[in-house]
Structure 1
Amino acid sequence: MSAGGYEVEHNIAAEEANKAHDGRRPDLSTFYSALDQLDDSREARHNPHALPTPSDLAALYDMLADAIALMRGTDETQHLELVDQLRQMANNPPPGGVKGVPDSFLDALDRVPKKALKKDDQCNICGLPFLDDPYPLVVELPCHPLHRFDLECIRPWLKINTTCPLDRKDLLKKKTPPPPPPEDDEEEWDDQFA
């Protein structure tokens, strides 16, 4: 999410957004520019049958892996699994292009109110405590109530993957409702025959 999106989401001035953002996240503008070029859901594509090249997809995954590694720092080992997943995707890009969630999915994610956050709650991607940000924008993924992330951290992941980075559940799969109970065709009798 750009700083402009941060301002709008929190209804704050640009100066406040810059202070809140200062040093928290790397600039992902190059990532989003590359994503716009490779996103197969774009309707204005010059040639709708042209697929992104594997090297372009690999570069996209590498950019996100580098950004996450930068957020977590080189001494952190917890981020390695997520960065390793992205590097593996870069080595074996999906055929046909980027398969992420639509913006409408991101807009519909449940926001976690600031008062519901604990002091030691932190984003599983950047590793920073949510409450370090004066205006935390924390979302909860539908797969598990404890899978909470800064929207700015989970957005790039979900734009290239439809799965949760923690449990790898596909977030776009609809849960099938349980089958309805069997209906009895017989009427209830009240022990009186007429």
Structure 2
Amino acid sequence: MSTPYEVEHGVTAGQTGRRPQNRRVDMESFFSFLHQISTDAISSVSSETTPQTHNNRHAEATPVDTANLFRLLQDQFATLRQTSPDATNRDFLEALIQEVDRDIADLPRLHGVGQEFLDGLDRVSKKEILKGKKGEEKCPICAVKFNEDPHPLVVALPCHTSHCFDLECVAPWLQSKGTCPMCRKNFVRKKEEKKELKEDSEEEEEFDNMNGVWLATGYPQTVIAIRGVDEKGLALVRNGVEVL
């Protein structure tokens, strides 16, 4: 089955020539389970590039489901921690593991980002990675230099341009937690706030352009039309008769 990396680059597992095998974590079980419990996630482990549909679009992840998903996320960090090249990476992974531990103990809910968010992340150009200073930087999760990957797929998170990760490494965290692994900026909350502001703006615009807008009253089968707004208030029309 193809990983998101292989799908985006159009390569197979045998062609990737990626980072050393001991720094790669097979997240197939994670993505498969995520697809089962979340309607926002598009399966990332399919051997086909066509999106899969969720069996139950009204399904919602239970705390038990989320806890099991978080344990699969912990497995990713625990596996990488075993071969951490330095103390900085080891401490970073340990901090992520401990945070997920606290979530599991607190009956967690799934607040991760959807596939649309991942698709919209800024990609760091291959030229910048292979020829610029960015290539000498390491992914905070796998601790491998970006320029050591022949097919780099590096993303910069919206919170800060310096918060860059290998997409394959950071995607499971983002789809589980919805935050930046470094600064904990909540991307889901920010998106919800933008949506609320947009809805409020649309409501205000609708109120300002009430001419010809039909509103239902609290009475059965009674409909009124707002004719306009004047200094004295609203002039309403019901069945062609003006109501002051």
Q: Which runs of 5+ in 2 are unaligned?
A: 42-52, 85-89, 198-244
Using a 3 Å threshold, how does the CA distance of structure 1 residues 29 and 4 change in structure 2: closer, same or farther? closer
Matched, 1:130 2:146: yes
Larger relative strand fraction: 2
Cα RMSD over matched residues? 2.7
AA of the residue aligned to 1:105? F
2:91 is the counterpart of 1:77: yes
Change (3 A) 1:128 1:9: same
Cα distance 1:53–1:9, how it changes in 2: closer, same or farther (>3 A)?
closer
Q: Relative contact order (C-alpha < 8 Å, sep 6+): which is higher? A: 1
Instruction: Report the CA distance shift for 1:45/1:13 in structure 2 as closer, same or farther (over 3 A).
Output: closer
TM-score by length of 2: 0.61
CA offset digits 1:47-98 (Å, max 9, x no partner):
83x643433221211111121121232662232111111121122233xx42
Distance in 1, matches of 2:31 and 2:11, equals: 23
Point out the structure with the larger helix share. 2
Provide the aligned length of Structure 1 versus Structure 2. Answer: 172
**Aligned mates of 2:67, 2:29 — CA distance in 1:** 14
2:114 is aligned to: 102
| Alpha-carbon distance in 2 for matches of 1:20, 1:123 | 14
**Percentage identity across paired residues of the two chains:** 40
Structure 1 runs (4+) deviating above 6 angstroms are none
Q: For the structure 1 residues 4 and 57, does the alpha-carbon distance in structure 2 shift closer, same or farther, using more than 3 Å as the test?
A: closer
The residue that corresponds to 2:31 in the other structure is 32
1:108-187 alignment runs, 5 A limit:
108-117=120-129, 118=133, 119-172=135-188, 173-174=190-191
TM-score by length of 1: 0.75
Q: Which runs of 5+ in 1 are unaligned?
A: 178-194
Match of 1:20 in 2: 18
Instruction: Provide the residue aligned with 2:61 in structure 1.
Output: 52
